[in-house]
Amino acid sequence: MRTASRIAQVPPYLFAQIDKKKAEVAARGVDIISLGIGDPDKPTPKNVVDRAVAEVQNPKWHRYPDYEGSPQFREAAAAFYQKRFGVSLDPKKEVLALIGSKEGLAHLIWAFVDPGDVVLVPDPAYPVYKTHTILAGGTPHIMPLTRENNFLPDFTAIPEDVARRAKLMFLNYPNNPTAATADLAFFEEAVAYCRKYDICLVSDSAYSEMTYDGYVAPSILQVPGAKDVAIEFFSLSKPFNMTGWRIAFAAGNPEAVAALGIVKTNTDSGQFTAVQMAGMEALLHTPQSFIDEMNAMYTRRRDIAVEGLRALGFDVRKPKGTFYLWVPVPQGQTSAGFTETLLEKAGVVVAPGTGYGDYGEGYIRLALTVEEPRLKEAIDRIRQHL
């Protein structure tokens, strides 16, 4: 049996490796506290669950769904963007339902990238941007995200010949894994840059609703003329605690939406309509107070973790978005080595920064997805085993 040569170019998926190692340690009887994967620990809102239960029983939805998403879900997505961002979207041409934003991001690369094409990929970043560029035969050009530049890419550092060959640029703010945030002025700069070089600008907006200390994340589609070059991916996973439901949507440039639709309709058959109806319920009828309460909870957890880690000597910033902390490792340690030490000696799972790219070396990522007592215990274990 001979697999495609492209498979050898792609490393094993980070969180699959973490789960395997976590299981090995847990099998020895170690009590594991997992701060590794960004999976909300609270349930989906009751109104969404109740709506899903009712819709699952509707035999109308027991057949193939609409390939591009049900009209109701796409209309709900457009209504949400109008209310939240003041952005008008045509639900028929500028919105596409996804089976989670991960698959949409991956499939968009296949819609745009021919072998040898360049994709502008931030580093560190969500691994899908780079791995699917490689799988599609494209060439990732790394845009370093450094602490000195507040984990924003420097567009002026991209060589002219690279910019002219680029098909896509990926941005993700609030950012995974660094928890950095961006303002509308930065998005305006990105839109102008991509318009100049005829690049499709991809905004991964999975964490736009998870913000703190008065910061409100913008949509890139708020930039005047952004729909000329930009497509944005909005996931229901994090704001509505719906990671397992696999429901999201892409919105923006109609040509990009249509190209993504061609790949998807030839690859999958769409998300179960009952799940889309639950997604519609989340977008239109979940009260803002639910998101506010979740953000207040994550703010408390963030403050506990930041203060605890600073007391141990870690130079960690207090983020205004996501539910992650991007923590420099102790001097003389590597990301992978410190991650393994925390798991083996403290029973605490974190993600090594190098799992997100070469520029993640020297960092670990903590996900604030455990209750406060367990979070405090994790900090105490780190203190004991440093």
Residue 385 confidence (pLDDT) = 86
Q: At what angle do helices 71-85 and 273-285 cross, to 10 degrees?
A: 20
User: Which of 245, 261, 285 is at the close of a domain?
Assistant: 285
Residue 17: the pLDDT is 73
Q: What is the CATH number of the domain that holds 370?
A: 3.90.1150.10
Whether residue 158 is found in the same domain as residue 192: yes
Pair (347, 201) in one structural domain: no
pLDDT at 2: 85
pTM: 0.96
Q: What is the SS3 assignment for the chain?
A: CCCCHHHHHCCCCHHHHHHHHHHHHHCCCCCCEECCCCCCCCCCCHHHHHHHHHHHCCHHHCCCCCCCCCHHHHHHHHHHHHHHHCCCCCCCCCEEEECCHHHHHHHHHHHHCCCCCEEEEEECCCCHHHHHHHHCCCEEEEEECCHHHCCCCCHHHCCHHHHHHEEEEEECCCCCCCCCCCCHHHHHHHHHHHHHHCCEEEEECCCCCCECCCCCCCCHHHCCCHHHCEEEEEECCCCCCCHHHCCEEEEECHHHHHHHHHHHHCCCCCCCHHHHHHHHHHHHHCCHHHHHHHHHHHHHHHHHHHHHHHHCCCCCCCCCECCEEEEECCCCCCHHHHHHHHHHHHCEECEEHHHHCHHHCCEEEEECCCCHHHHHHHHHHHHHHC
200-204 vs 230-235, strand pairing mode: parallel
Is the distance from CB of 144 to CB of 123 less than 8 angstroms? Answer: yes
Residue with the larger pLDDT of the pair 29 and 286 = 286
pLDDT one-digit tens code per residue, 119-142: 999 999 999 999 999 999 999 999
Query: What pLDDT, in 10s, does the model give residues 212-240?
Result: 999 999 999 999 999 999 999 999 999 99
- Where does the pLDDT of residue 4 fall: very low under 50, low under 70, confident under 90, or very high at 90 and above? confident
Identify whether residues 200 and 311 lie together within a single domain: no
Is the same domain home to 381 and 263? no
246 in the same domain as 311: no
Residues 186 and 312 in one domain: no
Count of structural domains within the chain: 2
Percent of the chain having pLDDT more than 90? Answer: 91
In the chain, what is the straight-line distance between the N-terminal and C-terminal CA atoms, in Å?
46
Q: Given a cut of 80, is residue 13 above it in pLDDT? A: no
* In a shared domain, residues 23 and 143: no
Query: Residue 227 sits in a domain of what CATH number?
Result: 3.40.640.10
Assess whether 76 and 177 both reside in one domain: yes
What count of Cα atoms within 13 Å lies in the side-chain half-sphere of residue 375? Answer: 24
Same domain, 185 and 306: no
Residue with tokens 């005829």: 198
Neighbours of 17 (CB within 10 A): 14
31 and 89, same domain (yes or no): no
- pLDDT at position 8, please? 82
- The yes-or-no verdict on residue 25 having pLDDT over 90 is no
- Tens-place pLDDT, residues 48-70: 999 999 999 999 999 999 999 99
Q: Please indicate, yes or no, whether residues 120 and 27 belong to a single structural domain of this protein.
A: no
pLDDT higher than 90, residue 29:
no
Res 19 pLDDT > 80: no
Q: How confident is the model at residue 30 (pLDDT cuts 50, 70, 90)?
A: confident
Give yes or no: residues 225 and 364 share one domain: no
Q: Give pLDDT tens digits for 307-350.
A: 999 999 999 999 999 999 999 999 999 999 999 999 999 999 99
* Contact (CB, 8 A) for 139 and 129: no
Q: Which of 253, 285, 317 is the last residue of a domain?
A: 285
Q: Of 264, 285, 306, which one is at a domain's C-terminal end?
A: 285
Question: By residue range, what is the domain housing residue 221?
Answer: 46-285
At 28, is the pLDDT very low, low, confident or very high (cuts 50, 70, 90)? Answer: confident
Query: pLDDT digit string (tens) for 70-102?
Result: 999 999 999 999 999 999 999 999 999 999 999
Residue 109 in this model has a pLDDT that exceeds 90 = yes
Whether 366 has a pLDDT exceeding 80, the answer reads yes
Share of the chain above pLDDT 70, in %: 99
